[in-house]
């Protein structure tokens, strides 16, 4: 007996065969189209933005280098004989080129005609690239990193005909603390200094002591602070003027260190803390102590609502490759100090 296949099944099979034919035709058409179609073009790789070339130049052979630091410097075109020199010390986790871009020092050097020296720390000396301001072997007269910077200064004086009476130093954080060490170790070398978010000379003698001093400040009286600085060079009088900058909201280096620095340098200049003039300008509380000649010997600028870092102009902050530790708070520390130190070519 012949079995009848249900119509529903035959219709389904017939539809399936048609579907298979349609698929095969579609596959042939796609194969033909892909053979005729142009090969896909790979997208061009994204170009990394070109970093603006820095102005600083490196010098390797500058003399004795017991601290194993890198020497970078900048001299504007047509630098006059007897021009000033500013030594700039960066903070932890910073490079000299980035610091220069944010601070604007080389722009000021171009405008006013003075030279810049940027000692730079190496990760091999300190993993966070901090100057080792707390180690006597690095921060004592004629030793370590302090001696390296001294030799760099001598090189700049000899090779660029700069004035040895117009040398100033400017440092941030660990660079500020190392600036204090250089000012104490070679007070006759400098015409002035500025320390931003730094610490007094002698605040610590090892890493643990450094952390404690950063967190809460070291507890010493003015004479004790002064004696530490006097012992560094055996000099009793004639210390250069100092400008002290610090953010009131600093969470890395306690603002108590700004008071320690003031006590230290007031004692060195034989001035009393009660003799300050005080002025409020924007976020700044500015205290100044003048000597018998009427010259500002010690200045303290405390900036409200500023964390750990350097006050810079809005323009320089926008141009900075690394914006950490730089703040637009209505005052530019480098510009203020360039004017105070009268760095323009004479």
Q: Which two tokens stand for residue 315?
A: 């323009």
- Name the residue with tokens 């070291």: 218
Tell me the CA end-to-end span of the chain in Å, nearest whole number: 125
Ordered DSSP codes for 156-220 = HHHHHT--TT-EEEEEETHHHHHHHHHHHH-TTT-SEEEEES---TTS-SSHHHHHHHHHH----
Among the options 103, 148, 173, 185, which is catalytic?
173
Closest CA to 332 of 315, 318, 319: 315
Dist CA 232 CA 173 (whole Å): 20
User: Where would I find the beta strands (DSSP E) of the chain?
Assistant: 57-59, 70-74, 85-89, 115-120, 167-172, 192-196, 242-247, 277-281, 284-290, 296-303, 310-311, 326-327
Q: For residue 263, give the 3-state DSSP assignment.
A: helix
CA distances (Å), 264 to each of 27, 92, 183, 203, in order? 87, 24, 12, 11
Contacts of 266 (CB under 8 A, 6+ apart): 222, 272, 273, 289, 298
Residue in this structure with the two tokens 């690239």, named with its chain if needed: 129
Indicate if 17 belongs to the active site. Answer: no
Catalytic center residues:
173
């Amino acid at each position: 007996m012949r079995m009848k296949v249900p119509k529903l099944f035959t219709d389904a099979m017939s539809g399936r065969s048609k579907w298979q034919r349609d698929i095969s035709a579609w596959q042939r058409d796609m194969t033909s189209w892909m053979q005729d179609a142009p090969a896909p073009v790979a997208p061009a790789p994204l170009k990394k933005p070109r970093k603006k070339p820095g102005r600083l130049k490196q010098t390797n052979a500058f003399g004795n280098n017991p601290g194993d630091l890198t020497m970078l410097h900048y001299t504007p075109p047509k630098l006059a004989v007897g021009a000033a020199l500013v030594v700039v010390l960066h903070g932890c986790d910073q490079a000299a080129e980035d610091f220069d871009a944010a601070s604007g020092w080389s722009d000021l050097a171009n405008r006013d005609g003075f030279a810049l020296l940027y000692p730079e720390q190496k990760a091999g000396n300190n993993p966070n690239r901090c100057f080792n301001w707390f180690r006597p072997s690095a921060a004592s007269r004629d030793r370590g990193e302090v001696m390296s910077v001294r030799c760099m200064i001598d090189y700049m004086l000899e090779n660029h005909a700069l004035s040895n009476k117009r040398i100033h130093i400017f440092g941030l954080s660990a660079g500020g603390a190392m600036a204090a060490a250089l000012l104490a170790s070679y007070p006759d070398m400098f015409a002035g200094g500025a320390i931003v978010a730094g610490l007094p000379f002698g605040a610590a003698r090892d890493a643990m002591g450094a952390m404690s001093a950063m967190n809460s400040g070291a507890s010493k009286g003015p004479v004790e602070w002064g004696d530490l600085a006097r012992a560094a060079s055996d000099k009793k009088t004639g210390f250069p003027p100092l400008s002290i900058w610090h953010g009131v909201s600093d969470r890395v280096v306690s603002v108590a260190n700004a008071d320690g620095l003031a006590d230290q340098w007031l004692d060195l200049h034989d001035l009393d803390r009660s003799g300050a003039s005080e002025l409020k300008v924007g976020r700044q509380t500015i205290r100044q102590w003048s000597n018998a000649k009427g010259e500002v010997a010690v200045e303290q600028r405390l900036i409200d609502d500023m964390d750990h870092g350097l006050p810079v102009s809005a323009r320089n902050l926008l141009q900075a490759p690394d914006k950490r530790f730089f703040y637009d708070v209505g005052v530019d520390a480098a510009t203020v100090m360039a004017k105070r130190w009268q760095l323009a070519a004479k």
